[in-house]
Amino acid sequence: MAAFEKICSGITGLDHALDHIRMGDNVVWRVTELEEFAFVVKPFARQAIADGRQLIYIRFAEHAPFLEPQEGLQIYQLHPQEGFEEFTVKVREIITRAGRDAFYVFDCLSELQEAWSTDLMMGNFFCVTCPYLFILDTVAYFPVKRGMHSFDALNRIRQTTQLLLDVYRSSDAFYIQPLKVWNRYCGTMFQPHQYEPDSEEFQPLLDGLSLSRFYAAVDEKESEEDQNLDHWDRYFSLIKLKFAHGELERQEYRKICSIMMTRNGEMARLIEEHFSPRDYFLVRNRMIGTGMIGGKACGMLLARKMVHRHLPELAGKLEPHDSYYVGSDVFYTYIVANDCWKLRVEQRKERDEFQVSAEFGKRLREGEFPANIREQFRRMLDYFGQSPIIVRSSSLLEDGFGNAFAGKYESVFCVNAGEMEDRLEKFEEAVKTVYASTMDPSALEYRRNRNLLECDEQMALLVQRVSGSRYDSFLMPAAAGVGYSYNAYKWLRDMDPEAGMLRLVLGLGTRAVDRTTGDYPRIVSLDRPHAQLWPTVAARHRYSQHQVDVLDMEKNELCTIPLEQAIAQAPVWQKRMLLSHDTEAEERLWQQGNRREVLFGDCQGLVDKAEFLDMMRRILAMLQEQYQYPVDIEFAINVAQDGNFVVNLLQCRPLQVDSEKSVEMPEKKEGRVLFELTDTAMGQSRKEKVDLVVLVDPQKYYDFPYARKYEPVNIIGKINQRYGGQGKNMMLIVPGRIGTSSPELGIPVVYADISRFRAVCEVSYSAAGYMPELSYGSHMFQDLVEAHIFYGAIFEDERTKEYHPQMLASYKMEEYLDGMIEVYDVSETGTILYFDMMKGRALCQTEMEDGFHL
């Protein structure tokens, strides 16, 4: 049927008043009572069925149905409580299947406001659905209730729809007043019209008496609601009033938690147990937009409340926070405002190459925020002044039970210096960067591996003031780190994993979670804090922190500077807290007549501070007890000359750990062992068949041109997808570190490149300077733990009992880059990987007589 062709509405007088409804029209009827919509929709449905139209009724509300089941009518029952994205995508799928020229009746849009607790998302639904209906030359009727919605939401509907009509009914008359009729006009079209039952006509009201009666009917229907506010704001104003009068019931606490905090049952239970109404109100007061504040923000707030309630004597050692939260609804509003919803829908269908995801991520980085959101950003920046801030991801699925998303989404520092418009631009760039990171391949691969691609993953944001002190031109905390209530990295057999562990670094905590160039954080087992990984001072110096992350206040950016530069401005007492002397190097220099200090960063003063370690141990143990689950936290530390300190608790989430259990180790098959390791492996105890071994030759990788060192990464990623998709059990053996940002230290793969391997081994190769790093607690190792991927470090010392890669030669299946990467098919050799995490012993060998052997 031709676009814009006239159709019959079922009411002849309405057709005359509007010069007919046309194909492509979306018709929004604003009513006081739903019976007023029934007056116009039932004739519309009868006419559509009589004319042989495809008539579809989208049913989703609690009110009585407008149309009963009948021949010629298709009814779809949907549930907006499933979430905006799920509901909106299902509506779009119905429209797609129906195709062109279909007719639609929708339940009352106002009920979406109740399901989603905000006018904003109701408007978003209409703004993505209405244009799609228009493109397909459909006709759709939508009712919306008068006085329930903000002027902003109604304005968005008016701008998007083709027809908007007010309906009024008094005791003896029925009126309509067209507010918008697109692409047609007559001299009386926008006058109020009264329905004449005898003639079935809508007559324009042109005389004073008739108009006075009409406006009397309008006055009767005038709403008392403040339509300058979103439904969300009106709701919170109401519950604050109830609370002030002692009338707030417990069920309201649950509702607030479900619409603003979390839908996760375990997290909701903990929040409801620890939060008072005032806590919810404080969160709302610091929100930009509406929706949820996300997993990271919930975890941070909950951990702080737990400390205040269960360890009140330690609360004074916690640095207060003044965070802001960008609600999850802003994410969808940004997508809709930048015409990206079609990409969002297409991206949900991707399972492999994620090509649409790449385009979607690019569009997210290039969009613009609506004016009302930008104004809220300005008010927040006014509050922070010129204090540095960090914009952190806080998605709905993030930091929850079973899904940590560690390091999958971006966090962006903003030095927040300069004129307001410059600061606003930098902040908006940071927000876009975090939004775009939802389309990062590693994040998508993580979601796919956990069957989360179909889940509603909205991105909220946590905006935190950067904790720290000013040193000349840069700012940083004295130290920062991550803490674990369960220590899966026992480098001494008698360590108690239940005591927990810390990873400490000087400066910003970014280096505590990343595998960084030539740097090693201080690892502290909380039951044996002075137990060292390295036996000599020289080794402790070598495997310490040599670079520090700081905010450069003059360059207006995050920078990495040498340790010597970072501590140059620090007072002596602070150096004593953070640095140690390399006494062996100093003695050698003194013997040469060069009397100077040789210092290295190891946070030894904090490790020696019993009060600090006791505080961290107690907090971690308490959080694990409350969560009934191991946890990990992120924190920053600031210290004073008198020894006082404060800890800024930045994050808390359930920690995915492998439970300690044993596996029966077999008798070693002499001459048929690929490797045997002690105390250098991590992961879940296992007995697992190996089908493919992927080996990267250390010398060939070392000799490969530096500018091309990402080529092996791409090949490993393709092998990961191809054979992982076939269900092969794969083992990857590489030189140096995986996940490093520096190719000279190892293979710079990301999680998406190795997600389907069952085992990963890092190999020491001293001839080229490659050295594995048992960096438990980094984001990369968190990925391995969560995915139950075995990790082994093959050192050139007594911890590696055997390692014989040459035995694989006759099983080579394919090679890449002139033999740098070789793939061996050992599926018919009975190759088994054994690992007993209790004893720290790993063994990989063939079980068959004719398998590989020396």
d(CA 735, CA 796): 12
Mean pLDDT of 488-507: 82
d(CA 99, CA 93): 10
Write down the H helix ranges in 287-417: 294-310, 312-315, 328-337, 341-348, 355-366, 371-384
d(CA 294, CA 379): 21
First to last CA, the chain: 77
pLDDT for 743:
85
Q: What is the DSSP letter of 659?
A: P
Task: Say if residue 776's pLDDT is above 60.
Answer: no
CB 336 within 8 A of CB 127: yes
What's 470-654's CATH class? alpha beta
Summarised one tens digit per residue, pLDDT across range 195-205 is 988 888 899 98
Report which residue type is found at 161.
Answer: T
pLDDT for 407:
67
pLDDT for 518:
65
768 or 312, which is more confident? 312
Summarised one tens digit per residue, pLDDT across range 144-197 is 999 888 888 899 999 999 999 999 988 788 999 999 999 888 878 889 999 988
Instruction: Give every CB contact of residue 298 below 8 A, 6+ residues apart in sequence.
Output: 261, 262, 267, 271, 394, 399
Instruction: Give every CB contact of residue 150 below 8 A, 6+ residues apart in sequence.
Output: 119, 227, 228, 229, 230, 231
Q: How confident is the model at residue 54 (pLDDT cuts 50, 70, 90)?
A: very high
CB atoms within 10 A of CB 15: 17
pLDDT for 711:
93
Summarised one tens digit per residue, pLDDT across range 357-395 is 889 999 999 999 999 999 999 999 999 998 999 999 998
Summarised one tens digit per residue, pLDDT across range 508-539 is 998 877 656 567 889 899 998 988 877 788 88
What angle, rounded to 10 degrees, do the helices at 328-337 and 84-98 form? Answer: 30
Mean pLDDT of 296-322: 96
Averaged pLDDT score across all residues of the chain: 89
Task: Say if residue 780's pLDDT is above 80.
Answer: no
Mean pLDDT of 105-122: 93
Query: For 6-220, CATH number?
Result: 3.40.50.300
> Rounded to whole angstroms, what are the CA distances from 526 to 371, 512, 531, 607, 637?
50, 17, 10, 9, 17
Question: Judging by beta carbons within 10 Å of its beta carbon (0-12, 13-18, 19+), is residue 580 exposed, middle or buried?
Answer: buried
Q: What is the DSSP letter of 64?
A: P
Summarised one tens digit per residue, pLDDT across range 320-349 is 999 999 999 999 999 999 999 999 988 888
Task: Say if residue 68's pLDDT is above 80.
Answer: yes
Write down the H helix ranges in 437-524: 441-449, 510-513
Phi and psi dihedrals of 719, rounded to 5?
-60, -40
CB 332 within 8 A of CB 84: yes
Strand partners, 118: none
Which bin fits 631, alpha (ψ -120 to 50), beta or left (φ > 0)? beta
Radius of gyration of the chain (CA): 32
Task: Say if residue 577's pLDDT is above 60.
Answer: yes
What's 249-466's CATH class? alpha beta
pLDDT for 515:
58
Task: Say if residue 247's pLDDT is above 80.
Answer: yes
Phi and psi dihedrals of 669, rounded to 5?
-90, 100
Hey, what are 576's tokens? 């004593």
Task: Say if residue 494's pLDDT is above 70.
Answer: yes
d(CA 788, CA 588): 47
Q: How confident is the model at residue 208 (pLDDT cuts 50, 70, 90)?
A: confident
Q: How confident is the model at residue 7 (pLDDT cuts 50, 70, 90)?
A: very high
Residue with structure tokens 């969160």?
283
Query: What percent of the chain has a predicted confidence (pLDDT) above 70?
Result: 93
Between 238-242, 245-249, 284-288, 783-787, the lowest mean confidence (pLDDT) is in 783-787
pLDDT for 404:
60
Instruction: Give the full edge-to-edge strand order of the sheet including 692-696.
Output: 681-682, 790-794, 759-763, 730-735, 692-696, 821-825, 812-816
Q: How confident is the model at residue 679 (pLDDT cuts 50, 70, 90)?
A: confident
Task: Say if residue 717's pLDDT is above 80.
Answer: yes
pLDDT for 39:
93
pLDDT for 405:
67
CB atoms within 10 A of CB 687: 14
d(CA 635, CA 483): 8
pLDDT for 806:
93
Instruction: Give every CB contact of residue 572 below 8 A, 6+ residues apart in sequence.
Output: none
Q: Which of 220-234, 475-489, 659-673 has the highest mean pLDDT?
A: 475-489
Hey, what are 214's tokens? 């009409």
pLDDT for 14:
93
Hey, what are 719's tokens? 């092998």
Task: Say if residue 225's pLDDT is above 80.
Answer: no
pLDDT for 775:
62
> Rounded to whole angstroms, what are the CA distances from 509 to 221, 514, 738, 777?
58, 9, 20, 12
* Nearest alpha carbon to residue 25 among 52, 50, 44: 44
pLDDT for 578:
93
Domain residue spans of the chain: 6-220, 249-466, 470-654, 673-846
Strand partners, 469: 476
pLDDT for 543:
81
pLDDT for 107:
97
pLDDT for 853:
63
pLDDT for 323:
96
Hey, what are 183's tokens? 């692409």
